[in-house]
Homo-oligomer: A and B are copies of this chain.
Amino acid sequence: MMIEEILTEDKIENGYKEMGYAKLDSDRKERTGFAEVVFCSGKTVEQLKDIYKHIYEEEGEVLGTRASKEQYLALKESFPEIVYDELSRILKIEKCDKEHLGNVVVCSAGTADMPVAEEAAQTAEFFGVKVIRIYDVGVSGIHRLLAKTNELKAANCVIAVAGMEGALPSVIGGLVKNPVIAVPTSVGYGASFQGLSALLTMINSCANGIAVVNIDNGYGAGYLATQMNRLALGI
């Protein structure tokens, strides 16, 4: 059978929708409480239109990550209500009047870590979380972080985003009683090895309660924070 034939198939099976090049996991919300999110990078415009259309029909909203401006402009024709944020590269259609509950703090070490921090923050907001941002509080000017101790202590969980040496989560972990989600970023140069150094720092943290996700994985951090926030809310 030719690949073209496969790609035009469109059938429903148990718990997923067969699209040939993809099997949309329609059962996912049932299992995990979250509808499928679209990783836009590397998908063609045609694939994206198809997938956004299908999820929009099912859920009434769609969250996409790692989208390019080109993808945004192409999808805008079909979905005029679509919104794109250049910093976080999030491309979404979102229901109005969404309520934001709980309390998650997103910290970043430096200005250059903001794209990842925003991906985390906006992901959590899309999933209904109330988010507080505290940016540019890297450990080399520790008074900036300590000035925010009360906000940190009040959070259900803290997302700490840092590149270079990635020391921020260790310091925060020693200040709070709830979990810290550590996000290494690829910010840095030389021996930062595109975030590997920051990842190792976070994995080896001497502080307790540090949950590490992949380099630049703001989305994953926002998702995990939403889960923790929901635990606290009893959802």
Contact = CB atoms under 8 A, between A and B. Distances in A.
Interface of A: 1, 3, 6, 13-16, 19-23, 25, 27-28, 31-34, 37, 39, 41-43, 47, 85, 87, 109-112, 114, 118, 121, 133, 135-144, 146-147, 153, 156-157, 164-167, 170-171, 173-179, 181, 184, 186-217, 220, 223-224, 227-228, 231-232, 234
Contacts of A21: 111, 114, 135-136
A197 B201 CA distance: 6
Contact of A167 (B22, B85, B171, B192): B171
A103 B195 CA distance: 35
A191 B190 CA distance: 15
A181 to B, nearest CB: 7
Given A28-B141, A177-B32, A204 B164 contact: yes
B201 A200 contact: yes
Contacts of A195: 190-191
Contacts of A140: 170-171, 173-174, 205-208
Given A200-B191, A211-B212, A16 B144 contact: yes
Contact of A213 (B16, B111, B193, B210): B210
A85 to B, nearest CB: 8
Most buried by B among A114, A203, A232: A203
